[in-house]
Amino acid sequence: MASMMQPQIILLKEGTDTSQGKAQLVSNINACTAVADVVRTTLGPRGMDKLIHDANGSVTISNDGATIMKLLDIVHPAAKILVDIAKSQDSEVGDGTTTVVLLAAEFLREAKPFIEDGVHPQNLIRSYRTACNLAIDKVKSLATSIEGKSLEEKKSLLSKCAQTTLNSKLIGGEKEFFATMVVNAVIAIGTDDRLNMIGIKKVPGGNMRDSFLVDGVAFKKTFSYAGFEQQPKKFLNPKILLLNIELELKSEKENAEIRLSDPSQYQSIVDAEWNIIYEKLDKCVQSGAKVVLSRLAIGDLATQYFADRDIFCAGRVAEEDLQRVAAASGGTVQTTVNNVIDEVLGTCEVFEEKQVGNERFNIFSGCPSGRTATIVLRGGADQFIEEAERSLHDAIMIVRRALKNSTVVAGGGAIDMEISRYLRQHARSILGKSQLFINSYAKALEIIPRQLCDNAGFDATDVLNKLRQKHAHASGEGAPYGVDINTGGIADSFANFVWEPAVVKASPHYLLGPVTSFCFLRSLC
Ligand code: ADP
Ligand code: MG
């Protein structure tokens, strides 16, 4: 009788999804695989771009894993984690975003049969972690350093590295041209960590080959008033004054109130306004600057005043551009024109206003601190330039990383095959179930060369067999062999300069821990 009186306990809101256990794990894994299937075909030099059309009607064409994943707007909680790892790979390393998604999904897919057979996820996670650490150590031991080489040698090596990244992109056809540009830009900014010190300006029209690199800053001509035409458009070694003030005759604020007892006083108020602005302009001129830039407006009066004194001015310069001019020219942005001493003025070898396509550009080159570079990108359609910009971003990140870490490994699936072989060999020395799990991790790594083949239309099984055989040599002489994208066979990737910075190949393994743990959570509400 008492048991019948027991009240019903309601813990969760109505409609809560309480599925958990094996079925939920498998469903998480399936969701991740579905996401990976979307980006799978973009991997490698023969990968295809995706055209994504979103609800707002904007169209993006991209080959970049992170960009595609971001645009997919995934809602599945477990699959979302793949978006996060693509994003973190993008911000940490800048390349290898498709690779990381594919690998993560493949590791999970390999784990699926074990989960279905009732293996506890913790056992899998433990073995995967061991495999991860082994893989990372192996990548490190295989990495070749480019440290200690001369600048010229380094440049050519880095350019080869950048070309590998650009291979698979829309601008792959001009990879040498762009790789050189990227390497020069990265070397120009030196050790500066701020990525925004490399500006990329897009000017639709023209040919890709019309793109050029400025060893300084370039930005589109800002809005200007009459009088501008009379200003000189080229200076050698000018002093540059950077301002964050308005140089404009201000009309009175609407609710300003001035009481006058005598109408003749009115003129004195008008004069006062003029005096203020003339005083400001005088100070600018006295500073000796030949180029005056301001983040705020420079009005018609000021423009004419400067023109009469052979000074160039530009108002409403974007904050980012002004900061870059400051960094490059060695100047400091002033919030007042009082006390403008020589130290706060910047300089550069050549300042010039030039026509680029349909736009006019202000270009500061030969900057003394040299911590900035600007790439002016040309090309047909808008979407084309956008994708070119993303590809250059990838290449810039890669070169920066390679310069910083200066170790590279063989790409084209070579490193993945080698780790796979190493793990298999290691697994044989392990007793118990862990052997199977590590083997499945090893097998998952083969997805990279396999997908490279699939995307290029090669017989993946055939190429993989050749690769396995090559990598089986205990001497390690086959280690740098990967997919030869030109012939459909295998080739020494390292000798062919298909290189990847070691970090690109190590980070998927670093990222794996959180992914597996998350996807193997026993329940998701
Ligand atoms: P991700 O977003 O992962 O960087 P990519 O589309 O850039 O994807 O493809 C990178 C993969 O393509 C790497 O595994 C790289 O080694 C491989 N790859 C790039 N160029 C070549 C090439 N010329 N031959 C063979 N493989 C290449
Ligand atoms: Mg890439």
Query: What confidence score (pLDDT) does residue 45 get?
Result: 82
If one residue of 88, 167, 392 were mutated to test the ligand 1 pocket, choosing by the most ligand atoms within 8 A of its CB, it would be: 167
Long-range CB contacts (within 8 A, 24+) of 426-435: 426/134, 433/119, 433/123, 433/127, 434/123, 434/126, 434/127, 434/130
Cα(165) to ligand 2 centroid in Å equals 5
Locate the ligand 1 atom nearest the alpha carbon of residue 102 and give its number: 3
Locate the ligand 1 atom nearest the alpha carbon of residue 97 and give its number: 2
Chain centroid to Cα 114, Å, comes to 37
Locate the ligand 1 atom nearest the alpha carbon of residue 414 and give its number: 16
Query: What confidence score (pLDDT) does residue 467 get?
Result: 94
* Burial (Cβ within 10 Å: 0-12, 13-18, ≥19) of residue 299: middle
Has 164 been annotated as catalytic?
no
Cα(165) to ligand 1 centroid in Å equals 6
Query: What confidence score (pLDDT) does residue 55 get?
Result: 83
Query: What confidence score (pLDDT) does residue 371 get?
Result: 72
Has 117 been annotated as catalytic?
no
pLDDT along the chain (525 residues), means of 10: 69 73 84 92 87 86 87 85 87 85 91 90 87 90 82 84 82 87 85 69 85 87 84 89 85 68 81 85 90 90 90 90 87 88 89 86 83 84 86 84 79 92 92 91 94 94 94 83 90 85 80 64 45
Amino acid residing at 242? L
Has 97 been annotated as catalytic?
yes
**Ligand 1 pocket residue status of 483, Cβ below 6 Å:** yes
Locate the ligand 1 atom nearest the alpha carbon of residue 95 and give its number: 4
Q: In angstroms, rounded to a whole number, what is the distance separating the alpha carbons of residues 244 and 317?
A: 10
Query: What confidence score (pLDDT) does residue 523 get?
Result: 44
Catalytic residue among 90, 394, 454, 484: 394
Query: What confidence score (pLDDT) does residue 482 get?
Result: 93
Backbone dihedral region for residue 439 (phi beyond 0: left; psi -120 to 50: alpha; all else: beta):
alpha
Q: Is the pTM of this model over 0.75?
A: no
Query: What confidence score (pLDDT) does residue 63 get?
Result: 84
Q: Whose CA is nearest to atom 11 of ligand 1?
A: 44
| Angle separating helix axes 382-405 and 175-189, nearest 10 degrees | 50
Catalytic residue among 67, 97, 130, 407: 97
Query: What confidence score (pLDDT) does residue 33 get?
Result: 92
The answer to whether residues 370 and 186 touch, using CB atoms and an 8 Å cutoff, is no
Radius of gyration of the chain (CA): 30
Has 98 been annotated as catalytic?
yes
**287 Cβ contact partners less than 8 Å away, ≥ 6 residues apart:** 239, 241, 337, 340, 345
**Ligand 1 pocket residue status of 452, Cβ below 6 Å:** yes
**Ligand 1 pocket residue status of 164, Cβ below 6 Å:** yes
Outline where 173-299 has alpha helix (H). Answer: 175-189, 265-286
